[in-house]
Structure 1
Amino acid sequence: MKEEKWIRGSLITESLPNAIFKIRLDNEDRILGYGSGRIRRSFIRILLEDRVKILISRYDSTKGHIIYRL
């Protein structure tokens, strides 16, 4: 059975050490997120107040992967 995932629009609110970010989702929830493979591999910079797409697992809704910078 494949894991179900959610993709949400969000806003970076704070940058933490080791490329971890505090993110505010569009529905005002706050989660932790970190760059996915392509973001890290391409050296794409993520700054405060950037709009990003985040991939959230249905099993742990407090963490997610940043998959796209808008």
Structure 2
Amino acid sequence: MTRTRKGVEVEGRVVECLRSGMFTVELENGYRVLTHISGKIRQNFIKIYLEDRVLVELTPYDLTRGRIVFRYRN
């Protein structure tokens, strides 16, 4: 069973690493968003570091919180 993504996807850069897999990401438009790691990234042990470029999925209900769904290679 696959889930369809119903959020807004934007690119950003990790500016702060918080505890428990939470990150602060600065989006391309300058906004800062509190994000957490998606389940697939956690399952595959993909590490997220400061200054990494990531793809963030935001829900249409709360644009201040999101989920990191992809980490771009440098």
Structure 1 length as normaliser, TM-score?
0.93
Once residues 6 and 42 of structure 2 are traced to their aligned partners in structure 1, the CA distance between those partners, rounded to angstroms, is: 24
Partner of 1:61: 63
Once residues 30 and 53 of structure 2 are traced to their aligned partners in structure 1, the CA distance between those partners, rounded to angstroms, is: 14
Q: CA offset at residue 4 of structure 1?
A: 4.0
Q: Given the alignment, which residue of 10, 13, 22 partners 1:11? A: 13
SS at match of 2:8: strand
% identical aligned pairs: 37
Partner of 1:36: 38
Report how many aligned residue pairs link the two structures.
69
Structure 2 length as normaliser, TM-score?
0.88
SS at match of 2:66: strand
Q: Deviations over 1:5-62 (max 9, x none)?
A: 1000000000001010011000000010010010000010000000000000010111
- The list of structure 1 runs, each at least 4 consecutive aligned residues, that deviate by more than 6 angstroms after superposition, is none
The code of the aligned residue for 1:47 comes to Y
Q: Given the alignment, which residue of 14, 26, 47 partners 1:45? A: 47
Higher strand share: 1
CA RMSD after TM alignment = 1.5
Contact persistence 1:31–1:62 (CA under 8 A): yes
